[in-house]
Structure 1
Protein backbone atom coordinates (compact mmCIF):
# COMPACT_ATOMS: atom_id res chain seq x y z
CA UNK A 1 0.00 0.00 0.00
CA UNK A 2 2.93 2.37 0.68
CA UNK A 3 4.18 1.79 -2.88
CA UNK A 4 0.83 2.91 -4.32
CA UNK A 5 0.83 6.04 -2.17
CA UNK A 6 4.35 6.91 -3.37
CA UNK A 7 3.31 6.49 -6.99
CA UNK A 8 0.28 8.73 -6.46
CA UNK A 9 2.45 11.41 -4.84
CA UNK A 10 4.95 11.43 -7.69
CA UNK A 11 2.33 11.82 -10.42
CA UNK A 12 1.62 15.54 -10.63
CA UNK A 13 -1.46 16.46 -12.60
CA UNK A 14 -1.54 19.46 -14.90
CA UNK A 15 -2.83 22.34 -12.82
CA UNK A 16 -4.71 23.95 -15.74
CA UNK A 17 -6.57 22.26 -18.61
CA UNK A 18 -4.68 23.73 -21.57
CA UNK A 19 -6.52 22.92 -24.82
CA UNK A 20 -6.82 24.82 -28.09
CA UNK A 21 -8.55 24.22 -31.42
CA UNK A 22 -8.22 26.86 -34.15
CA UNK A 23 -8.81 26.97 -37.89
CA UNK A 24 -7.64 28.92 -40.90
CA UNK A 25 -9.84 28.97 -43.99
CA UNK A 26 -9.67 30.82 -47.29
CA UNK A 27 -12.09 29.71 -50.02
CA UNK A 28 -10.17 31.54 -52.75
CA UNK A 29 -7.00 29.58 -51.95
CA UNK A 30 -8.88 26.31 -51.23
CA UNK A 31 -7.39 26.46 -47.72
CA UNK A 32 -9.09 24.72 -44.81
CA UNK A 33 -6.62 23.94 -42.02
CA UNK A 34 -6.91 23.12 -38.34
CA UNK A 35 -4.44 23.24 -35.47
CA UNK A 36 -5.07 21.67 -32.06
CA UNK A 37 -2.97 21.43 -28.89
CA UNK A 38 -3.41 19.91 -25.45
CA UNK A 39 -1.22 19.64 -22.36
CA UNK A 40 -1.62 16.41 -20.40
CA UNK A 41 0.31 13.95 -18.25
CA UNK A 42 1.85 10.74 -19.60
CA UNK A 43 1.57 7.42 -17.81
CA UNK A 44 5.12 8.01 -16.58
CA UNK A 45 4.36 11.36 -14.96
CA UNK A 46 5.84 13.55 -17.71
CA UNK A 47 4.07 16.65 -18.89
CA UNK A 48 3.23 16.28 -22.59
CA UNK A 49 2.19 18.82 -25.20
CA UNK A 50 0.32 17.07 -28.00
CA UNK A 51 -0.07 18.97 -31.28
CA UNK A 52 -2.30 17.97 -34.22
CA UNK A 53 -2.61 19.81 -37.52
CA UNK A 54 -3.80 19.27 -41.06
CA UNK A 55 -6.66 19.80 -43.49
CA UNK A 56 -10.10 20.09 -41.87
CA UNK A 57 -11.90 16.76 -42.19
CA UNK A 58 -8.72 14.65 -42.03
CA UNK A 59 -6.90 13.15 -39.07
CA UNK A 60 -3.84 15.25 -39.97
CA UNK A 61 -0.44 14.86 -38.38
CA UNK A 62 0.53 14.61 -34.73
CA UNK A 63 3.59 15.47 -32.64
CA UNK A 64 4.10 14.93 -28.90
CA UNK A 65 6.64 16.93 -26.88
CA UNK A 66 7.73 15.64 -23.44
CA UNK A 67 8.77 18.00 -20.63
CA UNK A 68 10.11 17.59 -17.13
CA UNK A 69 8.15 20.63 -15.89
CA UNK A 70 4.66 21.86 -16.73
CA UNK A 71 5.94 25.45 -17.07
CA UNK A 72 8.05 24.46 -20.09
CA UNK A 73 5.03 22.90 -21.82
CA UNK A 74 2.91 25.98 -21.09
CA UNK A 75 5.60 28.26 -22.50
CA UNK A 76 5.68 26.33 -25.80
CA UNK A 77 1.86 26.16 -25.85
CA UNK A 78 1.60 29.95 -25.55
CA UNK A 79 4.38 30.61 -28.09
CA UNK A 80 2.73 28.34 -30.66
CA UNK A 81 -0.66 29.95 -29.98
CA UNK A 82 0.78 33.40 -30.69
CA UNK A 83 2.45 32.17 -33.90
CA UNK A 84 -0.72 30.54 -35.22
CA UNK A 85 -2.93 33.53 -34.42
CA UNK A 86 -0.43 35.81 -36.20
CA UNK A 87 -0.79 33.58 -39.29
CA UNK A 88 -4.57 33.95 -39.30
CA UNK A 89 -5.80 30.96 -37.29
CA UNK A 90 -8.98 31.70 -35.33
CA UNK A 91 -11.37 29.73 -33.09
CA UNK A 92 -14.17 28.08 -35.02
CA UNK A 93 -17.46 29.92 -34.61
CA UNK A 94 -20.89 28.32 -34.36
CA UNK A 95 -21.75 29.57 -37.87
CA UNK A 96 -18.80 27.59 -39.29
CA UNK A 97 -19.83 24.26 -37.74
CA UNK A 98 -21.33 21.80 -40.21
CA UNK A 99 -24.93 20.82 -39.48
CA UNK A 100 -25.75 17.14 -38.92
Structure 2
Protein backbone atom coordinates (compact mmCIF):
# COMPACT_ATOMS: atom_id res chain seq x y z
CA UNK A 1 0.00 0.00 0.00
CA UNK A 2 1.37 3.40 -0.94
CA UNK A 3 1.95 5.60 2.11
CA UNK A 4 1.94 8.88 0.19
CA UNK A 5 -1.58 10.13 -0.37
CA UNK A 6 -0.75 12.56 -3.21
CA UNK A 7 0.51 9.76 -5.47
CA UNK A 8 -1.81 7.14 -6.91
CA UNK A 9 -0.41 3.76 -5.89
CA UNK A 10 -1.52 2.33 -9.24
CA UNK A 11 1.44 4.16 -10.81
CA UNK A 12 3.91 4.21 -7.91
CA UNK A 13 6.22 1.54 -6.57
CA UNK A 14 5.80 0.78 -2.87
CA UNK A 15 9.40 0.93 -1.67
CA UNK A 16 9.27 4.51 -0.35
CA UNK A 17 8.83 5.76 3.20
CA UNK A 18 6.42 8.57 4.01
CA UNK A 19 9.22 11.18 4.30
CA UNK A 20 10.56 13.24 1.41
CA UNK A 21 13.56 14.91 3.05
CA UNK A 22 16.44 12.75 4.21
CA UNK A 23 19.29 13.96 6.45
CA UNK A 24 22.41 12.22 7.60
CA UNK A 25 25.24 13.60 9.71
CA UNK A 26 28.74 13.26 8.32
CA UNK A 27 32.23 14.41 9.30
CA UNK A 28 34.02 16.73 6.90
CA UNK A 29 37.76 16.82 6.33
CA UNK A 30 38.44 18.94 9.41
CA UNK A 31 36.50 16.54 11.64
CA UNK A 32 33.53 18.90 12.08
CA UNK A 33 30.05 17.46 11.76
CA UNK A 34 27.76 18.63 8.98
CA UNK A 35 24.40 17.60 7.58
CA UNK A 36 24.06 15.84 4.24
CA UNK A 37 20.63 16.51 2.74
CA UNK A 38 18.79 14.68 -0.01
CA UNK A 39 15.44 15.47 -1.68
CA UNK A 40 13.61 13.31 -4.21
CA UNK A 41 10.79 14.56 -6.47
CA UNK A 42 8.70 12.77 -9.08
CA UNK A 43 6.30 13.80 -11.81
CA UNK A 44 3.98 11.08 -13.09
CA UNK A 45 1.42 11.74 -15.83
CA UNK A 46 0.61 8.35 -17.41
CA UNK A 47 -1.74 9.83 -20.03
CA UNK A 48 1.23 11.81 -21.43
CA UNK A 49 3.71 8.95 -20.83
CA UNK A 50 5.60 11.26 -18.45
CA UNK A 51 7.54 9.51 -15.67
CA UNK A 52 10.25 11.88 -14.43
CA UNK A 53 12.42 12.22 -11.35
CA UNK A 54 14.46 15.07 -9.92
CA UNK A 55 16.97 14.61 -7.08
CA UNK A 56 18.86 17.17 -5.01
CA UNK A 57 21.74 16.24 -2.72
CA UNK A 58 23.89 18.58 -0.63
CA UNK A 59 27.26 17.14 0.43
CA UNK A 60 30.49 18.53 1.83
CA UNK A 61 33.34 18.60 -0.67
CA UNK A 62 37.03 17.93 -0.07
CA UNK A 63 37.97 21.62 0.10
CA UNK A 64 35.70 22.53 3.03
CA UNK A 65 32.82 23.84 0.92
CA UNK A 66 29.57 22.22 -0.14
CA UNK A 67 28.22 20.91 -3.40
CA UNK A 68 24.62 20.75 -4.62
CA UNK A 69 24.27 17.69 -6.85
CA UNK A 70 21.23 17.76 -9.14
CA UNK A 71 20.15 14.60 -10.95
CA UNK A 72 17.11 14.45 -13.24
CA UNK A 73 15.61 12.40 -16.02
CA UNK A 74 13.13 9.68 -16.90
CA UNK A 75 12.43 7.11 -14.17
CA UNK A 76 14.44 3.97 -14.91
CA UNK A 77 17.41 5.85 -16.39
CA UNK A 78 20.48 7.43 -14.81
CA UNK A 79 19.45 10.83 -16.16
CA UNK A 80 21.65 13.90 -16.22
CA UNK A 81 23.80 15.35 -13.44
CA UNK A 82 24.82 18.91 -12.64
CA UNK A 83 27.03 19.92 -9.69
CA UNK A 84 27.13 23.44 -8.22
CA UNK A 85 29.77 24.44 -5.64
CA UNK A 86 29.16 26.72 -2.64
CA UNK A 87 31.37 28.07 0.12
CA UNK A 88 28.86 27.30 2.89
CA UNK A 89 25.92 25.03 3.60
CA UNK A 90 23.44 27.93 3.85
CA UNK A 91 24.00 29.08 0.28
CA UNK A 92 23.68 25.52 -1.03
CA UNK A 93 20.48 24.96 0.97
CA UNK A 94 19.01 28.28 -0.24
CA UNK A 95 19.65 27.34 -3.88
CA UNK A 96 18.24 23.86 -3.29
CA UNK A 97 15.03 25.24 -1.77
CA UNK A 98 14.61 27.67 -4.67
CA UNK A 99 14.99 24.89 -7.24
CA UNK A 100 12.70 22.59 -5.24
CA UNK A 101 9.97 25.26 -5.19
CA UNK A 102 10.28 25.69 -8.97
CA UNK A 103 9.92 21.95 -9.56
CA UNK A 104 6.93 21.62 -7.21
CA UNK A 105 5.27 24.53 -9.03
CA UNK A 106 5.72 22.53 -12.27
CA UNK A 107 3.94 19.49 -10.86
CA UNK A 108 6.68 17.45 -9.18
CA UNK A 109 5.72 15.71 -5.92
CA UNK A 110 8.13 14.98 -3.04
CA UNK A 111 8.78 11.28 -2.35
CA UNK A 112 11.18 9.54 0.02
CA UNK A 113 14.55 8.23 -1.15
CA UNK A 114 14.58 4.56 -2.08
CA UNK A 115 15.85 2.18 0.56
CA UNK A 116 19.13 0.49 -0.16
CA UNK A 117 18.71 -2.95 -1.72
Shared fold per TM-score greater than 0.5: yes
Partners of 1:57 and 1:70 in 2: CA distance: 30
Shift of 1:13: 4.4
1:4 corresponds to = none
The structure with the greater share of residues assigned to strand is 2
TM-score, structure 1 as length reference: 0.76
1:64 corresponds to = 83
Instruction: Tell me which of the two structures has the higher relative contact order, counting C-alpha pairs closer than 8 angstroms and 6 or more residues apart.
Output: 2
Partners of 1:33 and 1:21 in 2: CA distance: 11
Which consecutive unaligned segments of at least 5 residues does structure 2 have? Answer: 1-28
TM-score, structure 2 as length reference: 0.65
CA contact (8 A) 1:13 1:41 kept: no
**1:78 and 2:101 matched:** no
CA contact (8 A) 2:36 2:60 kept: no
1:3 corresponds to = none
The 4+ residue runs of structure 1 with deviation greater than 4 A are none
2:49 corresponds to = 30
Question: What is the number of residues matched between the two proteins?
Answer: 85
Which consecutive unaligned segments of at least 5 residues does structure 1 have? Answer: 1-6
Partners of 1:72 and 1:92 in 2: CA distance: 24
The structure with the greater share of residues assigned to helix is 1
Partners of 1:47 and 1:79 in 2: CA distance: 17
CA RMSD in angstroms comes to 2.0
